[in-house]
A and B are shown apart, each in its own frame.
Chain A
Amino acid sequence: DAGVIQSPRHEVTEMGQEVTLRCKPISGHDYLFWYRQTMMRGLELLIYFNNNVPIDDSGMPEDRFSAKMPNASFSTLKIQPSEPRDSAVYFCASSLVLEGKTQYFGPGTRLLVL
């Protein structure tokens, strides 16, 4: 398996623009997680899905952030409008409940909002 795939790997955008991050989980996994990592705040869980259904979005910082999972093999995290404080590395991870929920992380998207 190719592991968790994220795109783009790097994104530079200007404040106010819409940003869409993409994630393809490991095939067969039933959980998908979105995290944000910054030097100041460390690793933060934003939202997670189970069988494509959002379960907990309490970590989403504000309404500018939204996430969808239209099918088992694809998820998006959207920021609209983006702000400089959104600059971070965004990781997607997936897990399988039968594997004790071991999470496997994607390579991350490094976002810079100017």
Chain B
Amino acid sequence: AQSVSQHNHHVILSEAASLELGCNYSYGGTVNLFWYVQYPGQHLQLLLKYFSGDPLVKGIKGFEAEFIKSKFSFNLRKPSVQWSDTAEYFCAVNARGANNLFFGTGTRLTVIP
């Protein structure tokens, strides 16, 4: 069965610090990978996605993620966070041929001004 692990439950950073949020999945086949962001009181919004090609994917708001197939990982990065990045971040995986996404439990990011 597919599963997605986000090991960091809560990350606290100061503004301008660099961010890396971990995401690992368990599925041996071909996958589509996603990062979603949920700002306080809002719905999930797509940050970026990877289907194929260049494993380094750039998304909105300066975020990027790198797919490392050998490590079953899709970590999210941002070189310099802002207070407005305070939110919860969800990694999700879709196995090719499956209909739905498997979501991780989310990582709450708090950025201190």
A55 in the interface, Cβ–Cβ < 8 Å? yes
B43 in the interface, Cβ–Cβ < 8 Å? yes
> How long is the Cα–Cα vector from A22 to B13 in the complex, in angstroms?
38
A101 in the interface, Cβ–Cβ < 8 Å? yes
Distance (whole angstroms) from the CB of B39 to the closest CB of chain A = 12
| Contact indicator A101/B32 (Cβ below 8 Å) | yes
B70 in the interface, Cβ–Cβ < 8 Å? no
> How long is the Cα–Cα vector from A100 to B96 in the complex, in angstroms?
8
Residues from chain A with a CB closer than 8 A to the CB of B101 are 101, 103
> How long is the Cα–Cα vector from A100 to B20 in the complex, in angstroms?
25
By secondary structure, the A interface counts as: strand
| Contact indicator B43/A105 (Cβ below 8 Å) | yes
Given known pairs A43-B90, A100-B49, A100-B94, the reply for A56 and B100 (CB within 8 Å) is: yes
Residues from chain A with a CB closer than 8 A to the CB of B42 are 107
> How long is the Cα–Cα vector from A101 to B46 in the complex, in angstroms?
12
A20 in the interface, Cβ–Cβ < 8 Å? no
Residues from chain B with a CB closer than 8 A to the CB of A43 are 44, 90, 103, 106
A25 in the interface, Cβ–Cβ < 8 Å? no
Given A102-B46, A106-B43, A107-B43; 5 other pairs, CB 8 A cutoff: A33-B100, A42-B106, A102-B34, A104-B46, A108-B43
16 contacts between A and B (CB under 8 A): A33-B100, A42-B105, A43-B90, A45-B100, A56-B99, A91-B43, A100-B32, A100-B51, A100-B94, A101-B32, A102-B32, A102-B46, A103-B46, A104-B46, A106-B43, A107-B43
